Amino acid sequence: MRILLIEDDTVLGAAVRDQIASDGQSVDWVTRLDAAGDALRGAGYDLILLDLMLPDGRGIPFLKALRTKGDVTPVIILTALDQISDRIEGLNAGADDYLVKPFDLAELSARIGSVARRYAGNPNPLISHGALEVDLAARSVLRDGRPVALTAREWALFEAFLQRPGQLLSKAQLEDKLYAFGAEVESNTIEVHVSRLRKKLGAGVIETERGLGYRLGAG
């Protein structure tokens, strides 16, 4: 997934950014709402992490404006505002989840995964695909009953296919899932990861449409 983090606390922002990166996802971190607007106009995001108190305004009007424009990108609010009324306001504005600071980073990862699964149309974290048994919550894969070790990047790529079964994903789309703005991407990165996934999970797990992209195969 590609995630937009809107957080002006530099210590917390760095911790959240590093947590997301360690999960194999790409993250763009901004500290102001105007920068967030620029980022959303320049890229497609799978999820937004939104602080409510930013230097140039509050997150609730920003969220309401997104929803008014028809933007359905999932949003998880991260805030120190812990009153029930604050939670209700955030959820009624269109947030999908609400996490009160301070929070455990592992819980944040779990909530990101939960929201992403709901938007993918399958809240069940357990998926069977051919010879594979996948636990999206535990980020684990069994092939013919035996565990398969995937790197964070391999997992993120495989998860992107699982969330869009049958959909053709271009090389550029897949790169967006793995890398943030400004990150250097080697020209053959996706091909290398796809090759490794095929070796670990089965030759047919990812199909190639030459010149167009890749899609989830039968396994």
Report the candidate in 57, 88, 62, 56 with the shortest Cα–Cα distance to residue 75.
Answer: 62
Fold of 126-216: Arc Repressor Mutant, subunit A (1.10.10)
Is pTM beyond 0.75? Reply is no
Report the candidate in 89, 93, 78 with the shortest Cα–Cα distance to residue 9.
Answer: 78
Residue with the larger pLDDT of the pair 63 and 166: 63
Residue bearing tokens 């495989």:
158
Q: Which tokens is 124 given?
A: 């069940």
Write down the domain spans for the chain.
2-119, 126-216
- Reported as a single tens digit per residue, the pLDDT across 17-28 is 999 988 888 899
Residue 152 has pLDDT above 90, yes or no: no
CB count in 10 Å sphere of residue 72 = 11
- Reported as a single tens digit per residue, the pLDDT across 79-108 is 998 889 999 999 999 999 999 999 999 999
The architecture of the domain spanning 2-119 is 3-Layer(aba) Sandwich (3.40)
- Reported as a single tens digit per residue, the pLDDT across 28-50 is 999 999 999 999 998 889 899 99
In angstroms, rounded to a whole number, what is the distance separating the alpha carbons of residues 187 and 59? 37
Equal fold, 2-119 vs 126-216? no
